[in-house]
Amino acid sequence: DAGVIQSPRHEVTEMGQEVTLRCKPISGHDYLFWYRQTMMRGLELLIYFNNNVPIDDSGMPEDRFSAKMPNASFSTLKIQPSEPRDSAVYFCASSYGGGVREQYFGPGTRLTVT
């Protein structure tokens, strides 16, 4: 069975450009999480969805970031406009059920903003 799929795996863009990261969760999972990892701040939760509905977006750093989940098998994280400080690895994770259920992480998207 396929795991969490993320695309692109690497993205290099110039400051001010729009960036869209994509995630396909594991089939049947009803929770989807977006995390960001940097050396300075570690792994941080940005936003998560339950049954395609955003539940907690308190980790989204500012209005330049937005996330959507139009259906159970697809989510996007968009940054517009991008800035060099957005450079990080962005992980998508999914789980079946919340609470104590295991979250399965995708391979991540390494974003570099120059």
Partner 1 sequence: QKEVEQNSGPLSVPEGAIASLNCTYSDRGSQSFFWYRQYSGKSPELIMSIYSNGDKEDGRFTAQLNKASQYVSLLIRDSQPSDSATYLCAVKGRLGGGGADGLTFGKGTHLIIQP
Q: Does 10 bind partner 1 (CB under 8 A)?
A: no
Burial class of residue 16 (count of CB atoms within 10 Å of its CB; 0-12, 13-18, 19+): exposed
CB of 81 to partner 1, least distance (A): 26
Q: Does 65 bind partner 1 (CB under 8 A)?
A: no
- Cβ distance 103 to 33 under 8 Å? yes
CB of 1 to partner 1, least distance (A): 16
Residue numbers 31-50 binding partner 1 by CB under 8 A: 31, 33, 41-45, 48, 50
Closest listed residue to residue 11, CA positions, set 67, 87, 93: 87
